[in-house]
Amino acid sequence: MNMFKGKKILITGGTGSLGKALAKRLLELDADIVRIFSRNENNQITMQSEMDDDRLRYFIGDVRDLPRLVKAMEDVDIVFHAAALKHVPIIEYNPFEAIKTNILGSQNVIDACLHENVETVVCVGTDKAVSPLNTYGATKLLMEKLFVTANNHTDRKRHRTKFVAIRYGNVLGSSGSVVPTLVKQIESGKNITITDPNMTRFNITMNQALNFIIRSLKKGNGGEVFIPKLKAYSLEVLKDAIIEVLEKDVKTEIISIRPGEKYHESLISNEETRNTFEDDEDYVILENKLQGNNKRKKSNLVKQYSSDNVELLTKEELKKILIEEKLLPMK
């Protein structure tokens, strides 16, 4: 059953890397209308030139503006909330701006969805929300809490809206992530800079992220936090894989860890493991009151789900991923 056929869908932050890829996937799944909600008109113009489809609708707006969100959500069935301020160093110097977008803006999304009686809402979270060390992570943790608890305040006689949260790390090759950063350094003839060769990150490609988002929407009944089961990689191995695929001879410079940056990524904290369940593809965190109707098995996690305690990808596996996902400029 195609749950998107004939549906009207809105994506906040729709001109970002994830938003554009998600819009393309939803059009392939026969969505009736995909509304792109973002505040950057230049990015919207660029997206229009790249994706010529009359089912796409573009709304200039900011999630801080509740009336504009309400207008954009008229007759919408499904909302994917991906809008956020996300660059850690910038947010450390501008914390209240992140609060206004990532927390207050997310509450506006919730209120607009309830006002327009949207069917299902998925908010896109981050590993940074787990035991946060920085302002970005703290704001995304509160965003997640808002979406989970929004189900508690929903009168099912008046509203059909289900709120679902998802959580994963940086998408491999996405804008501002490590792969394009290293490629840019290599192409400019500079030394490669990495914070620490033993630092690890969960591996998720854009296709994996899209599949995860869509199956979380299908599985969600409201109130869940879904986390994908993933492998990880070390920065040293990723760096070596990129150099070998590009056939470049470059030097590596080790720089210090950035403010608020974690040595390893965590997607489930120690404390959350007691409320974590699983199926073949994903983990799901459930509040106590939701566990009674749950048919998934209890997770076998005994400590936090972290990138340093899962299987690490080899250099050859990463090279294959980089080539298949077309993440590197090839000759």
DSSP letter, residue 163: E
Strands (DSSP E) along the chain, which ranges?
8-12, 33-38, 56-60, 78-81, 120-124, 162-166, 192-194, 200-202, 225-228, 232-234, 252-254, 266-268, 276-278, 282-285, 297-298, 305-306
φ/ψ (deg, to 5) at 130: -85, 115
Q: Please state, in angstroms and rounded to a whole number, the distance separating the CA atoms of residues 2 and 148.
A: 26
DSSP letter, residue 125: -
**Cβ atoms of 11 and 37 closer than 8 Å:** yes
Task: Please give the biggest Cα pair distance in the chain.
Answer: 65
Taking Cα atoms as reference points, which of 134, 150, 143 lies closest to residue 91?
134
Instruction: Find the catalytic residue in 128, 140, 262, 315.
Output: 128
DSSP calls for 188-247: TTPPEEES-TT-EEE---HHHHHHHHHHHHHH--SS-EEEE---EEEHHHHHHHHHHHHT
Q: Respond yes or no: is residue 128 known to be catalytic.
A: yes
**Would you please indicate which residues are annotated as catalytic (active-site) residues?**
128
